[in-house]
Amino acid sequence: MPWSLYAILAAFGASCSSILEKRVLNHTHSFGFAAALAFINLAIVSPLFFFVNYGALSWEAITATYSVSVVASFAFFFATRSLRHLEISVAVPLFGFGTVFTTLLAAAVLGESVNLAQGTGILAAVLGVYMLETKPHQNLLDPLKFFWKSRYAHYILFAVCFYAVSTLLDRVVLARLGMEPLAYMAFVHIFIAANFLIAAYVSKENWTSVGETFKTVGWWMLPLAVLTIAHRFAYVEAIKIAEVGMVSAIKRSSTFFTTLVGGELFHEKNLVRKSLASVLIVGGLLLVIL
Domain range for 173 is: 3-289
Q: Which of 251, 269, 264 shows the shortest CA–CA distance to 13? A: 251
Q: Which of 144, 11, 19, 20 shows the shortest CA–CA distance to 89? A: 19
- The reported pLDDT for the residue numbered 8 is 78
- The reported pLDDT for the residue numbered 167 is 79
Contact present, 75 and 101 (Cβ < 8 Å): no
Q: How many domains does the chain have?
A: 1
- The reported pLDDT for the residue numbered 178 is 85
Radius of gyration of the chain (CA): 18
- The reported pLDDT for the residue numbered 285 is 63
- The reported pLDDT for the residue numbered 264 is 59
Indicate the pTM of the whole model: 0.77
For residue 290, the tally of other CB atoms under 10 A from its CB is 11
DSSP-derived letter for residue 135 is: -
Residue 4's alpha-carbon distances to 136, 172, 251, 261, in angstroms, are 38, 19, 10, 23
For residue 47, the tally of other CB atoms under 10 A from its CB is 9
Alpha helices, DSSP H only, in the chain? 3-25, 30-45, 59-85, 88-96, 98-105, 116-132, 142-149, 151-171, 181-201, 204-241, 244-251, 255-257, 263-265, 271-289
Residues 6+ apart with CB under 8 A from 88: 18, 19, 22, 258, 259, 262, 263, 266, 268
- What distance in Å separates the CA atoms of residue 245 and residue 255, rounded to the nearest whole number? 16
- The reported pLDDT for the residue numbered 267 is 61
Averaged pLDDT in 10-residue chunks for the chain of 290 residues: 78 82 86 93 93 90 94 92 78 67 67 66 67 56 63 84 85 86 92 94 82 86 89 81 69 65 62 67 65
| Geometric angle at alpha carbon 250, from 244 and 256, rounded to 5° | 145
